[in-house]
Amino acid sequence: METKFIEVEAATIRFAGDSGDGMQLTGVQFSDTSAGIGNEVNTFPDYPSEIRAPEGTLYGVSAYQIHIGSRKTHTPGDEIDVLVAMNASSLKVNLKKVKKGGVLILNKAGFKDKNLKLAHYETNPIEDGSLKGYQVFAYDINEQVRRVLENHDLHVKAVDRTKNIFTLGLTYWLFNRPLEPTENWIKKKFGKDPSIMEANIAVLRAGYNFGAMGQDMIVRYHIKPAKMQPGIYRNITGNNAVALGLVAAAKKANLPLFLGSYPITPATEILHHISGYKKFGVKHMQMEDEIGGICSAIGASYGGSLAATSTSGPGLSLKVEAIGLAVMLELPLVIVDVQRAGPSTGLPTKPEQSDLLMAMWGRHGEAPVAVIAAKSSTDCFDMTIEAARLALKYMTPVILLTDGYLAQGSEAWRVPSMDELPDIAVEFATDPATFSPYKRDPQTLSRPWAVPGIPGLEHRIGGLEKEDITGLVSHDPMNHQKMCELRAAKIARIADDIPLASVDGDASGELLVITWGSTFGAMSNALYAVRSKGLNVSHCHLNYINPLPKNLGSIINNFDKILLPEMNLGQMQILLQSLFMKPIIGLHKIQGNTFTAQEIQHKIEELLTKKEGAL
């Protein structure tokens, strides 16, 4: 039958299989190729919490989801249009997310009796009619790659490992993607082993040709390039964006960069990426623990570097005492917290907005720090630079909150020029005649930054309270209160240096939705959906959390109802209600998954259509 093209505005594709099936690699290649031909791209890798869960089990399923479109895509998609499932468990876990009528590409080799038992299937879903209502394309992909590579001198296990590349070629055909970008990647990755390189290229082409020559897949999908601002684009994850943001901020401030960290999922990749920028004079150190990571960064800050540390979940708990030390020392420090599901070890590969109140108040004593949050993978770059700017200007630790969804998801990012980035001016104390360790700038209340080794600028450091102006150790009660109040006032003054909150939609009305962090993406899509139905709702997103924008209270008072979706049990809800004394409706999700646009959309529609006094 003749193949026909259907033009669609967007599509969501999910590759799923065992941890060893290469689904992450397949998804990255599909997303990078799609970005390269001009589509908007948003991705999310979904890892099992165990490093190598038992093969074929439900909790061992690894997946990678890509949302591609001809207009801005804010999330990796709600419902799945095409699911590639390499075994029975990956179908079982993900089928509920596939829209009715969606495409299922199934590897028959992963649906044998053992696979079905591990997935808790009593009968084979490929054969029992339970997949009626979906477009099912089931092939023995293992057998296909063995045929393609029968004349290649490879072990059967090495042959079977190419099955993900076969499915990649098949989905490239289905969505009219070019093979050349992935072929070039294969040549670069396996160039030192020609047999592996040639095998992967052969299997990639075979998957594409399998779709082209098959008789059952008669529909292909075309997605036009998106209209984007002119420039150079690349796909970038949030963790990579943080690393680049630190490098760019150090260059703008004309300071050496130091990152002291300890590996912890899902923040580890920041350390990996930073290690690749040594040619820019970047220094990094993988410490023996979280405490060593932040303390090394404090030392680098004392020495005159732009210093940063990265962590996640329980790692932030371990850094708490050292954060208090940095507050007492009043030194600039960027602390990147890639939030994950807790408490304790929790779900270490899953996202959650779990650390907000800890970032705000999780220290003993009065130890205020600035807290900001990124809203997307690409925004991680901008907010990292902002964290550095605030830390350097106000001589304070700044906590930047991202989460596992932003950190490991990716988006198409327009690479800015250095001239487009904000100026970050740094002045060190140099004159012994006018130097006092805690003599404050009248505008920012920040103390001077004196690099060790300059004669006449010697001063005390350490965790004991300092005397105002002189910086000598002081146990005077009134001095302690004064210094606590000064440190709090310094953070409060940041409100004069950040943008006012803005409202997307009417400035007053029945319903305002407030978001912070990664819920921005789902809310943006939900807003588009409800407004297309003629419903009137306004939206305010918060990048700045401590301090909050100065006009937020007046914005909140202009609306009858406030809805606040969060991936926790209401931490921002608690914060805003305590500050502005107005009831806020919380929408809470702590399932290790981000909000879908539909979940927020349904809550908005419920609130706008609910009659006054109804239950």
How big, in percent rounded to 5, are the helix, strand and coil portions of the chain? 40, 20, 40
Which of 549, 551, 552, 564 is closest to 513 using CA atoms?
564
Q: Which two tokens stand for residue 118?
A: 């591990």
What pLDDT shows up at residue 614?
A: 44
Distance of CA 389 to the CA centre of its chain: 21
Task: Provide the angle, in degrees to the nearest 10, between the axes of the packed helices 194-213 and 163-174.
Answer: 40
What pLDDT shows up at residue 1?
A: 61
Question: Residue 348 is which amino acid?
Answer: P
What pLDDT shows up at residue 49?
A: 77
Segment 452-465 mean pLDDT: 94
Percent of the chain residues topping a pLDDT of 70: 99
pLDDT tens sequence across 387-424: 999 999 999 999 999 999 999 999 999 999 999 999 99
What pLDDT shows up at residue 64?
A: 96
How would you classify residue 133: left for phi > 0, otherwise alpha for psi between -120 and 50, otherwise beta? left
Window from 224-233, 478-487, 555-564 with minimum mean pLDDT: 224-233
What pLDDT shows up at residue 68?
A: 96
User: Greater confidence, 97 or 53?
Assistant: 97
In sequence order, the β-bridge partners of residue 410 are 43, 237
**What is the CB neighbour count within 10 angstroms for residue 152?**
15
Q: In this model, does residue 613 exceed pLDDT 60?
A: no
Residues near 504 by beta carbon (within 8 Å), at least 6 away in sequence: 527, 538, 539, 540, 541
Tracing tokens 């590969």 back to the chain, one arrives at: 349
Segment 547-555 mean pLDDT: 98
Q: In this model, does residue 51 exceed pLDDT 80?
A: no
Segment 577-584 mean pLDDT: 96
Q: Which two tokens stand for residue 127?
A: 């054969």
Q: In this model, does residue 47 exceed pLDDT 90?
A: no
Segment 157-179 mean pLDDT: 96
pLDDT tens sequence across 293-337: 999 999 999 999 999 999 999 999 999 999 999 999 999 999 999
What pLDDT shows up at residue 370?
A: 98
Q: What is the pTM (predicted TM-score) of this model?
A: 0.93
What span, in angstroms and rounded, lies between the C-alpha atoms of 92 and 112? 14
Give me the chain's average pLDDT, please: 95
Q: Would you call the peptide bond into 549 cis, given omega within 30 degrees of 0 as the criterion?
A: no
pLDDT tens sequence across 352-397: 999 999 999 999 999 999 999 999 999 999 999 999 999 999 999 9
Could you give the count of Cα atoms lying within 13 Å of 5 in the half-sphere of its Cβ?
A: 8
Segment 238-260 mean pLDDT: 98
pLDDT tens sequence across 280-305: 989 999 999 999 999 999 999 999 99
What pLDDT shows up at residue 20?
A: 86
DSSP letter for 311, please. E
pLDDT tens sequence across 30-40: 999 999 899 99
Length of the chain: 615
What pLDDT shows up at residue 615?
A: 40
What span, in angstroms and rounded, lies between the C-alpha atoms of 459 and 450? 9
Specify burial of residue 91 (Cβ count, 10 A radius: 0-12, 13-18, 19+).
Answer: buried
What pLDDT shows up at residue 228?
A: 87
In sequence order, the β-bridge partners of residue 403 are 339
Segment 122-130 mean pLDDT: 96
Specify burial of residue 46 (Cβ count, 10 A radius: 0-12, 13-18, 19+).
Answer: buried
Name the strand (E) or helix (H) holding 170. Answer: helix 163-174
Q: In this model, does residue 24 exceed pLDDT 60?
A: yes
